[in-house]
Structure 1
């Protein structure tokens, strides 16, 4: 690309960035939160354009001008950080669902590894009830029966912790432990994540099948449907993050395995930030809503269906405006 064409294509971008830098340098002027977020992405593109201009030996005037903007932009970018709560809101509203959509290949694989074995074993146990003991011990089976017995005054709990607050803490520790093992074991070339996804799916199917045979379906399914939307989706995302790590080691491409793992880890850790938030929500619902045996089953089913709709809509639609801006930026870069 000749310099004239380069300037005609990209000059609007660096002129807009220069205006934003001037605004940030002025003590009485500021940018909105949205403009600050856009500033970061534009600055990264400016750095790329500066490198291209130097590599292609464009005029020193252009290279120096872009270099000056890079230095001034760097000063503003790293001395003006958004407050933590603004970064958190942006991550929840747009960053996390967008990241999940970007990694949907791993999400779908993890979902299949969790649900398909569970559904198969569930159907098998309906046909042959004794198959439940291939996954769980007799003591565990008895414990599950006690948890979901309609006469149990604290539904879903067979432990000494009987208050909602205590159970909230227990669910957080237990769920985060399961998700972290599913994620971290992906470092074993993905085998560990596959194992934990399949195992948890089989356990889920075994419990569901056995309780269906025991005619505890109303208490069991009305209990899990509420928090399951957040908890099960979070486990799938944890597994996807682990599979991402494993694949980065199996197929590093032109990178070294170490560098490939570093790049994958940055994405995987961000996914796990979202997983932790989802598990906090799931634990709250499980402790204060799902375990309530005063509510009627149909009420729980309605609320559970609503929560599943919210979770699906969140990952499908949230942050789409950010996707559109990124697509436009990519088109401009390729022009």
Structure 2
């Protein structure tokens, strides 16, 4: 840069540097405390200083001042822009908006993929049920070995009935099964969603396998005349828990479908677009699994009346359905 340009740059900086320093101070305060906590006069000066800085940046680019000055003004105006115009929403507001609008809207936009998850689970349960009725040995194929002890086709009907109605969780064999089922389903939900990106197949197969376990376990109790009893016991937490699995499957399948059928977009863009809703589905599934754990821990064994068990499980399921169908429609 020649001597004339250096003098012009120095004069330009000297005339405006005080404004830039004041703006930098206000931006630092806004970044540290938040714009909503600043005094009105400071927020007003911040907005006015941002406009003056952008004007200075435009002039500096026009007259080709030194690169260091341009980089400083670009960085300062970028920080000021974020302080003035970026959303000032708190964490509580983000969580509230997630549950009141963005999450149910994502569920409705992804209903086809969630239905695929429900079908995979249902077909798996039906297959497990029919295979057990054909040959009881299938129970040991589907059911993990650490759960088969005591709750297998070799168990007596009296024993199976006693653990369903045992009000002491420490003595309940089904309590161990439910604990395993929750941890198992949590892992399955994570795998289903994460592996869905691999062309949908892992998500579909894992959901189907989860249904096989459920179907075989139900068939065992139906065979002993305890189908209604087990259904009520599982309903308390199972309606929420299994629905969460299907939603996670829907998110995984949506990611896989974006790769298989990107349409006019590239794979990367299609995956980014699908991921916006898929991540929300995964978060909804995680919340539902937590709720299922609470229902399992506090209500499953405390409530002994079978009708009440069904009412709790399916009542909570209807609340989830109403939330998914009705919440966030005005915002949409």
Q: SS state of the match for residue 107, structure 1?
A: helix
Gaps of 5+ in 1: 1-23, 30-70, 162-166, 324-335
Which residue matches 1:286?
Answer: 296
Residues 203, 173 of structure 1: alpha-carbon distance in 2 compared, 3 angstrom cutoff? closer
Q: Paired residue for 1:317?
A: 326
Per-residue deviation, 1:74:
6.0
Cα 1:109–1:72 change in 2 (3 A) is: same
Q: Which residue of 1 aligns with 2:260?
A: 250
For 1:119-268, list aligned pairs within 5 A: 119-126=126-133, 128-136=135-143, 140-145=147-152, 149-152=160-163, 153=166, 154=169, 155=172, 156-158=174-176, 173-268=183-278
After superposition, the Cα gap between the structure-2 partners of 1:274 and 1:245, relative to the gap in structure 1 and judged at 3 Å, is: same
Q: Displacement, 1:196?
A: 0.5
Please, what TM-score do these two structures have when normalized by structure 1? 0.65
1:109 aligns with 2:116: yes
Question: Looking at CA atoms only, which structure, 1 or 2, has the larger radius of gyration?
Answer: 2
- The total of aligned residue pairs comes to 250
**CA distance, structure 1, for counterparts of residue 93 and residue 297 of structure 2:** 29
- The aligned counterpart of 1:88 is 95
CA distance 1:140–1:174, change in 2 (3 Å): closer
TM-score, length-scaled by structure 2 = 0.65
Shift of 1:238: 0.4
CA contact (8 A) 1:222 1:290 kept: no
- SS of equivalent residue, structure 1 residue 320: coil
Q: Does 1:275 align with 2:285?
A: yes
Contact 2:110 2:277 in 1 (8 A): no
* Correspondence for 1:53: none
Task: State the Cα RMSD in Å.
Answer: 3.3
Deviation at 1:240, TM superposition (A): 0.7
Q: Give the unaligned 5+ runs of structure 2.
A: 1-35, 42-78
